[in-house]
Structure 1
Amino acid sequence: MRSARSVTTFAAGAASILALTVGGFGLPALAQDAAPPLVQAPQAAAPAAAPRGLAESVAAVVNDDIISTYDVMQRMRLLMATSGMQPTEENLPQIEQEAVRSLIEERLQMQELRRVEREQKITIISTDPEVDEQISDIAQGNKMTADQLKQQLTSQGIGLDTWRAQIRAESSWQSWIQGRYGSRLRIGEDQIKAYQRRLAESAAKPQYQISEVFLDAARVGGMQVAENGAAQLIGQMQQGAPFPAVARQFSGSATAANGGDVGWVSQGEMPAEVDAALEQLRPGQLSRPIAVKDGVYIIYLRDKRAGSKTAIVDLKQVASPLAADATQAQVDAAAKVLNDLKPKITSCATLEATAGKVDGLIAGDLGEAEITDLAPAFQDAAGKLDVGQISDPIRTDAGLHLIAVCGKRQGGANAPTHDQIENRLRGQQLALIAKRYLRDLRNQATIETR
């Protein structure tokens, strides 16, 4: 059973947060494509963390596990320090809500991991040395030592235990999801070919290199809350908060872990509302909040390029040889034979055997070729047909032809490899599994906010 009451405003604590100078933790500029570091050295030292006050109280209870107002204040400081957001009276409620949500989710995750460890007698939760190693990696990415990085956080009033707890929960949960489900997932060749086919079919369309923040309406408390939150985040990013850092802390998408980086997309890969917004953006621009069925997107358009016709098709053909100067009656007779044959060809696998039953026809495998390298008459048919479809008779100087498209994929230097596609599909499925898993834990839990 779940109950909810209004979250405490923490007036005194909010005032202390407003006094912090968190802008010094800003990340690299939005236009950078490389994975940004977590924090940079601040321009000015900030007040040290205040000791826990006597007014500390319970902010939430998750299955009898208490989240204190001190925990929430610490997480708010951490969110701002690592996202580059400047605290204002307008955005503090959003930051507070995100702090509470993230703490509740981490409590649910850690409770589940401890249960699994007890029942299965295995170790899942990251150890102190493993957390230390991750901190060292983060510091190295910021061209700092671990001690320097810790000092920068503590100078902003952030207890190291708060940061370590976030790292421990995130890494442990990811390891558990990957370990439990990763080996069971099977990405079939049909899924990979379908993905390649979609890429090939959209190859001629404009392509966009984007980053995203997605606010899940179900997670944040409804569409209105998501839209208001997106507007607040956009305002912060326009004032300098780096997009990758904001995405890491606030996005509900699977891309949050890598700063919201989606990569290159074509029309049809994102929701229709996002496609429409992309058409209006120029590289370097942020979108307005984009409402979709289950939440709100913020899109940052990093780059744009014209589509190319570099699609590779795998073709088979049935040909009825005809001289270039054949009479119309001969052409019509050959066309009738091919039109009669066409519905009998049920797949590329049966094409040659089916055509072999008709005298005078030649069937064969043309192999893979770029559409632009095909004869003009074949280009049009190969470009329009979907995989598994067969053309109407096509006239060339050599005769009449039926063309069957047996495969289609994107070509060129920008085309993802087979392994890259497989890894992307696997990552998407694991992210969906993790989301459902956490949703089930939340639904089964007793959660009270005060």
Structure 2
Amino acid sequence: MGLMRYSTGAALAALLLAGSAYGQTAQAKASAAQTSVAQTSARPAAQPSLQGPAAGAPNPAAGDTPARPAAAQPQFQLADGIVATVNDKIITGFDLRQRMLMLIASSQIQPTEENLPAIQQAALNALIEDRLKNQELSKFADQLKVTDQEVDEEIAQMARQAGATPQAYIQFLEQGGIRPETFRENLRTEIGWSRLTGGRFGSRARPSPLQVEQELRRLNAAAAQPQYLIGEIYIDAARVGGQQAALNGARQLVQQIIQGAPFQAVAQQFSAAPSASARVPGDAGWVVKGSVQPALQAVFDQLQPGQLSNPIAVDGGVYIIYMRDKRDGAATSLVSMKQAMVELPETASEAEVAAATAKLETLRQGLTCDNIMSQSRATAGVTYADLGESDVQNLAPQFQQFARTGEVGAVSSPIRTPLGLHLVAVCGRRVGGPDVPTHQQVENRLRSQNLQVLDRRYLRDLRSDALIEVK
């Protein structure tokens, strides 16, 4: 799954990168959106009002330069006592402060009186899950032990990805008030958990050939529909104390993203959607028109590339949508065909055409895509050819009508061309379009999605069985 499985460490690495991985795809295509973003960045006092479908746009420069945590220390105080217990494991005020600092540094959210409760809740949820993970990992201590050397190697790899040395990477953490020991233990837990879930669910997460083929057909058919390249953040109401709390938290996140917090870092730390664990956090990919809830579709239709939505309330939570790009459907009709043919010059007599027609009509009875080759070769004067897969528009004009209307498996009546008489069989049909993924790409994506679902279900079950007390 790569480095992105280690959420806090990867987000901090992204923070140090010289450019944002999200890249703001849409800005290259929408100069108007660029102007809007530039104005938002240059004049924070004139930020867009949080009314209507669009709240503004993410700052394209966010993440271009490392933040300086020491210059923006969050002002919050928490008691050092026990703030929660998970079974027999405690979470202290110190633990909670450390996790809040990690979350603030990695997401570049500026702590305010309004958003500190949401930050604290997100940090506490993460700590509770860490305790559950560690308790489960302890059952497999011998098989899943993560060594100091492995943690060092992971930090070194993250530092390389960020264009920094391991020493500079650790120093960056310390400047933000994060103890290296705390960060290392967090990373150790995530490495061990990734191994546990990968080993436990690896075979179950692998999609079947039928699932891959169905997804490919769906994607091919969707190529003809309008599509939206979406970034998403989903706040799960059940995890943050209710729908109103989710809505309030989402409003704060929208303001922070407009002010410069990188969308992908915020998604990674706050979103409950599966895309939060994607290679590019928050990336939901291309979404087909009509495949989402009506409340989301209405916003998709109104947002322009480069714009960020206001919070969108749905059953169970709240969405924030970043419209990265849009495109119209641009599908091509692809058909696979085979033919049986009697060669006849254009100068052939009516009698010769009639004889060839009778021969092909007789052959046509019981002809299928599977037996057309053997039946053609067994009939004197008939030749066989596999025409392969072609765009219907590129076929000979005489074949195009049947190629468009014939059902898969159907065989045409004899068709006259300058070369002769033909029987053509439609042996496959699909819709192709721009950026249609390969079979392997679809399989990899489905496997990753399945693994994320199984991972979250595993944690959910552990949480439901645990005795959790928040002080």
> Fold conserved (TM > 0.5)?
yes
- Between the aligned partners of 1:353 and 1:160, the Cα distance in structure 2 is 72
Q: Return the letter of the residue paired with 1:283.
A: P
Matched residue SS, 1:45: helix
- Between the aligned partners of 2:470 and 2:400, the Cα distance in structure 1 is 63
Matched residue SS, 1:109: helix
- How far the C-alpha of 1:89 sits from its partner, in A, is 0.9
| 219-228 vs 65-74, which moves further | 219-228
Aligned counterpart for 1:97 among listed residues 102, 108, 121: 121
Matched residue SS, 1:244: helix
Q: Are 1:197 and 1:407, in contact at CA under 8 Å, matched by a contact in 2?
A: no
Matched residue SS, 1:252: coil
* 1:79 correspondence with 2:103: yes
> Which residue in the other structure is 1:266 paired with?
288
> Which residue in the other structure is 2:194 paired with?
174
> Which residue in the other structure is 1:423 paired with?
444
- How far the C-alpha of 1:61 sits from its partner, in A, is 0.7
Aligned counterpart for 2:66 among listed residues 31, 38, 41: 41
* 1:110 correspondence with 2:134: yes
> Which residue in the other structure is 1:368 paired with?
389
Counting only pairs closer than 5 Å after superposition, residues 10-21 of structure 1 correspond to structure 2 as: none
Counting only pairs closer than 5 Å after superposition, residues 115-126 of structure 1 correspond to structure 2 as: 115-117=139-141, 121-122=142-143, 124-126=144-146
| 24-33 vs 173-182, which moves further | 24-33
* 1:212 correspondence with 2:232: yes
Q: Are 1:38 and 1:82, in contact at CA under 8 Å, matched by a contact in 2?
A: no
Deviations 1:88-134 (A, max 9, x none): 111111001101111111111111111133xxx41x24322222222
- How far the C-alpha of 1:201 sits from its partner, in A, is 0.9
Matched residue SS, 2:257: helix
Counting only pairs closer than 5 Å after superposition, residues 117-156 of structure 1 correspond to structure 2 as: 117=141, 121-122=142-143, 124-156=144-176
Q: Are 1:382 and 1:405, in contact at CA under 8 Å, matched by a contact in 2?
A: no
Aligned counterpart for 2:215 among listed residues 185, 195, 213: 195
Q: Are 2:98 and 2:182, in contact at CA under 8 Å, matched by a contact in 1?
A: yes
Deviations 1:72-97 (A, max 9, x none): 11111111111010111111110011
Change (3 A) 1:286 1:47: closer
> Which residue in the other structure is 1:5 paired with?
none
Aligned counterpart for 2:301 among listed residues 255, 279, 300: 279
- Between the aligned partners of 2:395 and 2:413, the Cα distance in structure 1 is 13
Change (3 A) 1:39 1:128: farther
Matched residue SS, 1:195: helix
Q: Percent identity?
A: 42
Q: What is the aligned-residue RMSD (CA, Å)?
A: 4.3
Deviations 1:152-210 (A, max 9, x none): 22122222233223222222212211122214544332222212211211112233333
TM value normalised by structure 1: 0.74
TM value normalised by structure 2: 0.71
Q: Return the letter of the residue paired with 1:368.
A: E
Matched residue SS, 1:157: coil
Deviations 1:299-326 (A, max 9, x none): 22222333322454434689999999x9
- Between the aligned partners of 2:17 and 2:212, the Cα distance in structure 1 is 39
- Between the aligned partners of 1:377 and 1:224, the Cα distance in structure 2 is 63
Deviations 1:323-354 (A, max 9, x none): 99x9xxx9xxx9xx99x98xx99x96689999
Counting only pairs closer than 5 Å after superposition, residues 250-265 of structure 1 correspond to structure 2 as: 250-257=270-277, 258=279, 259-265=281-287
Deviations 1:10-60 (A, max 9, x none): xxxxxxxxxxxxxx9898556446xx998953347348899x98x411111
Counting only pairs closer than 5 Å after superposition, residues 352-367 of structure 1 correspond to structure 2 as: 366-367=387-388
- Between the aligned partners of 1:251 and 1:89, the Cα distance in structure 2 is 21
Runs (5+) with no aligned partner, structure 1 = 1-23
